[in-house]
Amino acid sequence: MNREDVRRAWDDVSRTYAERRDPDGSDADLIDDLLAAAPPDPAVLDIGCGDGARTLANLPNESVGIDVSRVGLGLARETVPGAQLVQGDMLQLPFASDRFDALSAYHAVFHVPREAHPAVYEEFARVLRPGRTALLTLPGGRFETVRRGWMGGEMFFSAPGRERTLAQLRAAGFTDLRTETVTDPLGSDSEMVFATLAK
């Protein structure tokens, strides 16, 4: 699937995904830790915000949600009224450099082909201020597949593996990496990584 295929796929499944997720998964609790590492009144970027219920709704008003899916953003407008929402691609974030004090990317990067993940992490580093932290899902395995029947549609998943992902984050300038295993919104265990950009 190319990026336009992925956008259409998310348009198809966004409502079902929002309905089926457990709103109380422990991965959402990590947002508090992310905010604790940020300065007061931080500007936070939530990448792959979807309907906004699990991350964007728990972020400060200065935060921005970005998603490739128009349908997902439409749901976010209902869930988080007044939120700043942008349609865009994490490979080319439409923001100035050094714009944000923190960044979240839950279950998002593995919808981009794994050969492009280094460019994604470089974009994360570009828009974050030095010394600030990103929180993202750390894929445990190495895979590239299209899951048919996923949420009633089909979806592309791709990852180079845990250790290669950590190496790519370091190459992009993230020097302090801390991981934590939590329950994801679909009831499975997921590993998340706090990645702090070098000053």
8 Å CB contact between 123 and 93: yes
The structural domains of the chain, with segments of one domain joined by +, span 3-197
pTM of the model: 0.93
CATH number for the region 3-197 comes to: 3.40.50.150
Mean pLDDT of 55-71: 92
Tokens of 115: 């050969």
Q: What is the three-class DSSP state of 186?
A: coil
Structure-model confidence comparison of residues 187 and 162, the more confident one: 162
**pLDDT tens, residue by residue, 129-146:** 999 999 999 998 999 999
Mean pLDDT of 100-108: 96
Cα 141 to chain centroid distance, Å, stands at: 18
> Hey, what amino acid is at 25?
G
